[in-house]
Structure 1
């Protein structure tokens, strides 16, 4: 079955590379299962500090595998059960990114379409090459990109998200940067180096602090203002009790580099 994920880890940076150029790195059943498993394994591996999701070939990911979807229209229920399970698997994948205690960076060199764009939007950070393109074209084939809409609408302004969703148009990297879908746009030749430098900088921080902060970020933004402050105040008070907060403050006052324990 199609769907390969190459995995390598160096200096605390786990690089997961989508490798199925024949289907433009579609998020097939196999691809989603392997990527989800790799993300969950990275979450549990103490040697992993940052995760990068990249891709081989001209496409980051073309989204769901439409041939797999079409093959199940002949099922007794016309594919209803398969479709429900498919989108549940996709949800599990996206949550494996957002709920991962390690920061996840998308490295986008080519086209990120539909669920592929959803994956980029779900990552904590995204760096794009000038050659990258982004779209949610489901409307063009009678299938509104409803699940990609979830992270997209949480990353870009409402009218930008609606334009992408309603038109299905392809947006270049510069426009994606203007909309806030990606953090930076760099020449294709500098993409991997830029991502590695960013990942290395993040990997140098206290991992317990990063974990606390990432979890708090996604929880607080769904809360009303007063509740968000109450929640984050509690988080910061508890964060101050960790060994790394004590060490970090002591190192700052003493004007020396901190020595992280990565323990609570």
Structure 2
């Protein structure tokens, strides 16, 4: 649990969009055990929050997230149990993002390295400032970015992922966009405008439909082609039973704005 007087993550919701602001800039918003626990708890809360339709993960300061807290790791060199628990917890949190029944957008300003790059890759969408940079530099310190590799290799081509993992070099925001790590790169002055315009556009959809679509997207990715089509055909047929699907079709045909019930 985190100290209630000094929360590691600040949250606020407006127009169905909940922002999770990592707020430990003096430690480069690193994913310490405490930060991971706080992030996991907040994700559980927004998963249950009916007001939240879209989540934005952002960070205060000039570093989005520098990965794990190496000072914390050094202090616990003698505890394999802690090291295992740390990486297990990080893996759990990344899966919470993927499994969250609401779209998650990373708002990236500054540097995102190692598990911080993993955090970006784990989000459904990512928008970066043109000054942002990304890396999986574990190889430079003798600790290969094996868990970040899971998210990275599922978002970019394998050769591009291997180049990042083997060289440990920083890449620019524009390069991150080229290889599919982020969706858009914009001037830092309009980063918030771009992120929240995207978030509001998504939040305007049926929450029930978004939940169905996000779950189906990730499930079908791991299936052979024929199995994926069979699965998604069932999903669509079930989706058609929803009030929102029927309302949306009627609204389209009647040329009016749909009134979502989220069911």
State whether TM-score is above 0.5: yes
Q: CA deviation at 1:3?
A: 6.9
1:97 pairs with 2:101:
no
Q: Take 2:214 and 2:63, find their aligned partners in 1: how far apart are those partners?
A: 28
Match of 1:218 in 2: 218
Unaligned runs of 5+ in 1: none
- How is 1:27-42 mapped onto 2 (pairs within 5 angstroms)? 27-42=31-46
| CA RMSD between the two structures | 1.0
Q: CA deviation at 1:253?
A: 1.1
1:80 pairs with 2:84:
no
Match of 1:190 in 2: 190
Unaligned runs of 5+ in 2: none
- How is 1:81-230 mapped onto 2 (pairs within 5 angstroms)? 81-230=81-230
SS in 2 for 1:210: helix
Number of residue-to-residue matches in the alignment: 259
Match of 1:232 in 2: 232
The one of 49, 54, 70 aligned to 1:50:
54
Name the TM-score, length of structure 2 as normaliser: 0.97
Q: CA deviation at 1:195?
A: 0.5
Q: Take 1:3 and 1:255, find their aligned partners in 2: how far apart are those partners?
A: 46
Q: Take 1:131 and 1:8, find their aligned partners in 2: how far apart are those partners?
A: 26
- How is 1:63-74 mapped onto 2 (pairs within 5 angstroms)? 63-73=67-77
SS in 2 for 1:48: coil
- Deviation track 1:205-243 (CA, whole Å, cap 9, x = no partner) reads 000000000000000000111111111010000000100
Higher mean alpha-carbon deviation, 167-176 vs 64-73, is at: 64-73
Match of 1:12 in 2: 16
Q: CA deviation at 1:88?
A: 0.9
